[in-house]
Amino acid sequence: MSNRMASWWIVWDDLKWPNDDVYDKIRRRADLMQKSNVDVATVFGAHFRWDFMPIWDCLHDFMRTVADELHERDIKFFDHHSAVLVHRHNNRNEMRNVKVHSGPHLPFSPSYKAAECWTFNGSKLNDWRMIDARTNKPHYLPQYTAEQFCYNNPVFVEAYLEYVKMLIKETRIDGLMCDDAIYFSGYNACTCECCRTKFKNLYGHNIPKDDDFTFWGNWKNQAWRDWIALRYASNGDFLEQVKNILPVDYPLMSCCSGSSGGTRNHCGQDVLQFNRGCNLVHLELCGNTPPVDDPETINKSIAKKLSLSSHHLAAAKLKNFSCVGQGYGFTEPSANIIWALNKMLGSTCWFSTLKGRLGLAESEISHLPDDAAAIAKAFSFEYKYKELFDTQLVSQIAVYFSYNTRNNSFFGDIRNGYEQDYTDTLTELFSAGISAETLLDLPKDTSEHPVLVVPSALCLSDTERETLKKYMKAGGKIIATGACGLYDGNGEKSKFPFLSNYGTDIVFSEPERKDDFWDGNWQTETKCQACGNAAQWYELDTNLLWHPMRLQDENSPDLCDKVKEFTAAAPVEVINAEGYLTALHSSNIEDETLVVQMLSAEYDVEIDKELDAKRKHRSRVNLITGVKPKNVTRNIVLALNVDVENIKVFTPFNENSEVKISHEASQLNVALPEDCSYVVCKISLTNPNKTLNF
Ligand SMILES: [Zn+2]
């Protein structure tokens, strides 16, 4: 499997292929990738692949040449394209809109008129289009000036599979990233005849008209919950079919920007469905890393990105897959943080620039480094010190992610509901230096996870309840918060709420949707009231501790103190690492070696303001040129609960700076250089610890 991935951008000039200048550029870029220790190059550009149909011959020959050059240098080449989206424009304004706002796609956008007669594999492309529930017309995506093909349409799927076979044969690519089998615009897609038939056949329901709100947005209606389930599964159904025509174990992934949020119900995007077809888990770390203070771009905190990553790593672990975390930057300072963020929990790093998203002329940005150059320092460090990064997370605490709550309740759908409680829980744990892991299945026994945090699992099925009881009986400890188990697995009020078994009635009401289902901002705006029970810890059973408040509520629980009280001492504990998020690993390569990674949570970020002001397109990212950690201690203190033979501390981004270590008895003090974003401590244990089992 790859460890270090970078993007191979295809730009307008490359379509001059087979021009000699293009060939020289291919070789120069392949050399740079080799020098930068990249081991997989992944295509970006030529993204809406159906739009390139008239020039597939040229494109595929170009890609095959790239593949040959990369293979000569022991680098793999993956294709990456949208299987289902097509740009379409009607007039001059729309054409300009595509070109200015969809730069990264290399928008080879045909007009509606031109594409009207396009056929492939015996059918018209126009016949594959998704239908909008509100208009009953082909579905239109204004954000991309695009239409989308329906992956529940067997005629489309057959045509796409023919394309993939042709692609692999003609390009000799080593892997495929097949994107966008999700419903980008939300619940209004798709109501084509294929989707209607599938819903009827699988669940026995018809899709009601768009003004029937006994169905649309009504989580108390089983048909609505079935509709959500069908839309999730449609992604897995499609990717399974793609997998089936690929050689065994051929790398397949698909773009997934996270699976824990409530909006995933809207677009039908979840990593477990992706994994029915894929054998690589992808996580698109959208927007700026680290975040910038700009309301027009996407700026999630580092901790939030770690929680998204934790969920996808849990899905990857279930199938023994790798997780590829893809982040966007333009220069080395942000490339470094993107890499470190991925290393924190054990993901492969895919670094990508996103120059087309800046809306600037080529001449303005020609000074920016190529993808491989910006990530070279980080990748070269990883290549040199493999033992620090080929590791397993030492999980001190497990956090359960409740799929039933996300899918089957309004509370699970809104941003302020379940999503925030799950994210806040992980954020608090990482910030307190507690190495946390997400679980998507409840543990059957206590061998791997003796303590489990269950935040706001409103919907618990009978099976989940039984498993939790068995777990507690076996000695497993549960720390639950919020409205735990008030509903059954289907989101109906439970006749016997889970905590009523332990003499407690939860006082909780779900919020109601106040504004229009189709056009209102209810998903982001709806706020959820706290439980009405007194804000305190309740010891409901020897192994069951519950606090009614969520971490976002007033009088929120001191969760990390309780976790520390319940869990056995970790081999290495953080006494002081203020401002850093922490993860503890054990090395797969060197015996008896622990690796502590610490990444600054907050940053002062510098952007190129002059270029930013000239942008014709402003979304997603800024051109970050400098990064400094903020509010971090320069004196790390760790408690060592194991016998230590040797300690080394690395600060890969602070070259020529000195790190001072003092190690007395069971305490390690690390004096860090100024502006240290990322620290890795390698702790080699003495032999008697061999009996320890982490
Ligand atoms: Zn459809």
Confidence of residue 143 (pLDDT cuts 50, 70, 90): confident
How far, in Å, from the CA of 117 to the mean position of ligand 1? 21
CA of 193 to the centre of ligand 1 (A): 7
Ligand 1 centroid distance, CA of 234 (Å): 10
From the centroid of its chain, how far is CA 274? 12
State the Cα–Cα distance between residues 423 and 305, nearest whole angstrom.
Answer: 9
* AA identity, residue 132: D
- Residue 537 DSSP class: -
The pLDDT mean for the chain works out to 96
What is the CB neighbour count within 10 angstroms for residue 158?
A: 13
Instruction: Judge whether 242 and 252 are in contact, CB under 8 Å.
Output: yes
> Which parts of 29-115 are beta strand (E)?
40-44, 76-82, 85-87
How far does the centroid of ligand 1 lie from the alpha carbon of residue 59, in Å? 29
Q: Coil, strand or helix: which one is 147?
A: strand
Ligand 1 centroid to Cα of residue 612, in Å, is 40
Task: Please provide the size of the chain in residues.
Answer: 694
pLDDT at position 273 over 70? yes
Q: Which residues contact 664 (CB under 8 A, 6 or more apart)?
A: none
Task: Express as a percent the part of the chain with pLDDT over 90.
Answer: 96
For residue 521, the CA-to-ligand 1 centroid distance in Å is 25
Q: Cα of 120 to ligand 1 centre, how many Å?
A: 19
Kind and range of the H or E run holding 470: helix 462-473
- Asked whether 460 and 501 are in contact (CB, 8 A), the reply is no
Instruction: Give the SS3 label for residue 370.
Output: coil
Backbone phi, psi, residue 89, to 5°: -135, 155
Which positions ≥6 away from 28 have C-beta within 8 Å? none
pTM given for the model: 0.97
> Distance between CA atoms of 300 and 341, rounded to whole angstroms?
13
Query: From the CA of 489, how far away is ligand 1's center (Å)?
Result: 28
- Picking from 511, 452, 510, the residue whose alpha carbon sits closest to that of residue 486 is 510
Q: Is the pLDDT of residue 439 over 80?
A: yes
Task: State in Å: Cα 525 to ligand 1 middle.
Answer: 29
Token duo for residue 100: 């200015």
210 CA → ligand 1 middle, Å: 15
Distance 221 CA to ligand 1 centre (A): 22
Cβ atoms of 341 and 285 within 8 Å: the answer is yes
Q: How far is the CA of 151 from the centre of ligand 1 (A)?
A: 7
Distance (Å) from CA 132 to ligand 1 centroid: 9
Question: How far away, in angstroms, is 522 Cα from ligand 1 center?
Answer: 25
Token output for 177: 């990233």
Q: Give the C-alpha separation, 312 to 437, whole Å.
A: 11
Burial 411-447 (b: 16+ CB within 10 A, else e): bbbbbbbbbbbbbbbbbbbbbbbbbbbbbbebbeebe
Rounded to whole angstroms, the Cα distance separating 381 from 653 reads: 10
What residue ranges do the domains of the chain occupy? 397-566, 572-604+628-685
pLDDT digits over 49-106, tens only? 999 999 999 999 999 999 999 999 999 999 999 999 999 999 999 999 999 999 999 9
Is residue 317 predicted with pLDDT exceeding 50?
yes
Q: How far is the CA of 150 from the centre of ligand 1 (A)?
A: 5
Instruction: Give 139 Cα–ligand 1 centroid separation in angstroms.
Output: 10
Closest CA to 386 of 197, 585, 125, 537: 585
Sheet strands side by side (includes 391-393) = 391-393, 580-587, 593-600, 678-685, 644-650
Same fold: 397-566 with 572-604+628-685: no
With bands split at pLDDT 50, 70 and 90, how would you rate the model's confidence at 665? confident
Radius of gyration of the chain from Cα atoms?
Answer: 26
Predicted confidence (pLDDT) at residue 281 exceeds the cutoff of 60: yes
Assign 688 a pLDDT band (cuts: 50, 70, 90).
Answer: low
Centroid of ligand 1 to alpha carbon of 267 (angstroms): 13
Main-chain dihedrals φ then ψ at residue 496, nearest 5 degrees: -125, 80
pLDDT exceeds cutoff 80 at 1: no
User: At residue 90, what is the residue type?
Assistant: N
Q: Does residue 525 surpass a pLDDT of 60?
A: yes
Task: State yes or no: pLDDT of 163 exceeds 50.
Answer: yes
From CA 385, how far away is CA 590, in angstroms rounded? 11
pLDDT score, position 294: 95
pLDDT of 694 over the 70 cut: no
Give me the residues near ligand 1 (ion), CB cutoff below 5 Å. 150, 152, 190, 192, 194-195
For residues 616-623, average pLDDT: 93
Average pLDDT of the segment spanning 403-407: 98
pLDDT at position 693 is 42
196 Cα to the center of ligand 1, angstroms = 7
CA 191 – ligand 1 centroid, Å:
5
In order of 299, 352, 618, the CA distances from 287 in angstroms are 6, 11, 12
Q: In terms of CATH, what superfamily is 397-566?
A: Class I glutamine amidotransferase (GATase) domain (3.40.50.880)
Q: Give the relative orientation of helices 302-318 and 332-345 as an angle to the nearest 10 degrees.
A: 50
Using the predicted structure, report yes or no on whether residue 253 has a pLDDT greater than 50.
yes
232 CA to middle of ligand 1, Å?
A: 13
Q: How far is the CA of 114 from the centre of ligand 1 (A)?
A: 24
Quick: pLDDT tens for 346-402.
999 999 999 999 999 999 999 999 999 999 999 999 999 999 999 999 999 999 999
pLDDT interval class at 656 (50, 70, 90): confident
Third-level CATH fold of 572-604+628-685: Immunoglobulin-like (2.60.40)
